[in-house]
Structures are given as C-alpha cells and as structure tokens.
Amino acid sequence: MTLNVNQLRSFYAAAKFESITKAAEELMVTPAAVTSQVKQLEENLGLRLLFRAGNAMRLTESGTVVFEKTRKVFEDLDHLELLIEDLSKKKSGELRIGCSETAAIEVMPKLITAFQSHYPGITVIVDRGTTSEMLKSILDHKNELVVARYRPDDKRLKMRLMGRKEITLVAAYKSARLPRERTSIAALNKVPVIAPIKGSAIREIIDEQLNQFNVSPRVVTETASLVLTKKLVQQDEGVGFMCRDEIADDLSKKRLREIRLLECSPYIEYGIGYLNRKNLSEASLAFIRMIDKSTKE
C-alpha cells in the first residue's frame, strides 16, 4: 500500500486542531479539500479514523494509533526542513518585516537575534508603525511579514498565533488621581487618560473594553511613544494602558503603579501575518519556520 502524504497531512491537521475548518486554515486549502483527503485516506486504509462529536472532530481508537505515528513523521519533517535551512547559512538577501511599537520593544529583539544566528547573511529590515499602518504596508507589498495583533477574523492576511501579553492600567506611583490598587473601569470617566494613537493594537483593545462598559474617558494626550507615555504618567498628568512587560522595571523601581480593573483583564494576542505563503521569499519562509519551531517547543 502506498500512502498519500497530502491525505496524511490533512488527517493530522484535522485531528490536531479537532476541526476541519482550522485544519483548512493551517494548510491553506478549503474545508472541502480537507474532508475529501481524510475520506480518501480512510477508504484506502479501510479504517474509520475520525468522527464528529458536536462541533469537534474526535479520533477513533484506530485513529489515535495512526495520529501518534503521523505526528512523529511530520514533526521529523519539520525538523528536517529546519536542518536544511541551517545548512544554508551563507544565504544572502533581505527580510522586510513590519511591527507595532510594542512588538518592536518586546518581541522583535529576541526573534532577530535568533534568526541572524542561523542566517547571518540576511539583512533584517524592520519597519515600525501602528497595527493599521503595518497592515497597509503588507497590502502595499512594502513588507512581506508583519508582527502585530493576532486577528484571525481578518481574511486579508494569513496569521499564525505567537503569544499573548497582559495589558495593564498604570498611574504615577503616588498618584492623586487613582490612589487605590484596584478600581472600577467606570472610574476612568473621571480621570484624564494618556492613550496610544488610534490605529495601534493596544488602543483598539482598550477602546473595545471601554465601549463594552459604556465608559468614555477624557483622552488628554495621544502618542505612539512609549517613553513619552511613561513620562507623562509618572508626572501624574493622567493614567495609561501599557503591556505589563514594558513597565516591569518601572514598577519594581516604584516609578509607576499598577492598578487592577475590577471588571476585566485586557490582553493582546500577537502573531505573524503575511499575504500568501507561496509568494514569500526564502528569507521570510525561514523566519516563519523558525517561529513555528519556537512555538512548538
């Protein structure tokens, strides 16, 4: 019996994500194509591998055995791809990647260091801006990749989830505006806010949270500068929202104070996006494979 790799990959993805739709997104094909490949594999093997339980796909007893074998096969293939790429260290060229300010500070440095340790001949060109600006840079073909807010519902891009970060409300350490460690989100109606500029991911997320609770704070300053935001908040000109990782040092040195919201705990999911994998350069494909490997570990 000759096994069809595409059929096995479709089965593996459907079982891994417990969803035909998510498997199709991962493989960049239609759900109908995944269903067809899985059905053909089952017919070729003479075994039932998957069944639907509510909205999820579940493995049969035989399916579990086949899944464990295919999982090892595809993990080994992924490692082989990386090994082959590692043998090509003398590659040259450019990697053009856009990112938000938060990603530029908290995410990109480690990624760039890891990438250039494998591909020292490739120049990484980082373009920084708001999430909306970076999305436009992809659509205009200025950049090939973007690291920004993870929005799987935006069908203009293919996105892979990389991680998430906590967004926290901060005030001056001895702020007279919000003196308590916890507060209701409604209290923001009474204090000035130093906000990220419109179009930035954090601004979008915070606006969504505020709208959910019908809160309309007075925004006294909008800025894309994290340094300026910190400075204004430290001077008690207002309160602000920032990723907790960005202010960890300021909190420990008592320059800023974290204030917990009673109703919600906002966070940002971030990922890497691109238009179409088949049109990506070798440098971009190598970068994506590196991220895939790091997220699996």
Read off the CATH number of the domain in which 28 is found. Answer: 1.10.10.10
With H, G, I as helix, E, B as strand and everything else as coil, classify residue 175: coil
Residues 145 and 289 in one domain: yes
Residues 158 and 289 in one domain: yes
Q: What is the pLDDT of residue 286?
A: 84
Q: H-type helices in 217-256, by residue range?
A: 226-234, 248-252
Number of domains making up the chain: 3
In a domain, 114, yes or no: yes
What is the β-pairing status of strands 93-99 and 122-128? parallel
Distance of CA 70 to CAs 8, 9, 65, 149, 151, Å?
7, 8, 9, 32, 30
Summarize pLDDT for 57-76 with one digit per residue, the tens: 999 999 899 998 888 888 88
Residues 129 and 147 in one domain: yes
Distance separating alpha carbons of residues 77 and 60, to the nearest angstrom: 25
In a domain, 81, yes or no: no
Residues 257 and 170 in one domain: yes
Residues 156 and 276 in one domain: yes
Distance of CA 244 to CAs 10, 100, 188, 202, 257, Å?
39, 16, 19, 12, 11
Q: What is the pLDDT of residue 137?
A: 92
In a domain, 291, yes or no: yes
Residue 90: pLDDT over 80? no
Residues 291 and 177 in one domain: no
Instruction: Name which of 53-57, 143-147, 188-192, 259-263 the model is least confident about.
Output: 53-57
Burial of 242 (0-12, 13-18, 19+ CB in 10 A): buried
DSSP-assigned letter for residue 189: G
In a domain, 87, yes or no: no
Task: Please give the residue range of the domain that contains residue 118.
Answer: 93-163+269-296
In a domain, 86, yes or no: no
Distance of CA 201 to CAs 150, 157, 240, 267, Å?
9, 16, 14, 10
Confidence of residue 56 (pLDDT cuts 50, 70, 90): confident
Residues 137 and 100 in one domain: yes
Tokens of 178: 């919000």
pTM beyond 0.85: no
How far is C-alpha 198 from the geometric centre of its chain's CA atoms?
20
Summarize pLDDT for 229-252 with one digit per residue, the tens: 999 999 999 999 999 988 999 999
Read off the CATH number of the domain in which 145 is found. Answer: 3.40.190.10
The structure tokens 């990438």 sit at 115
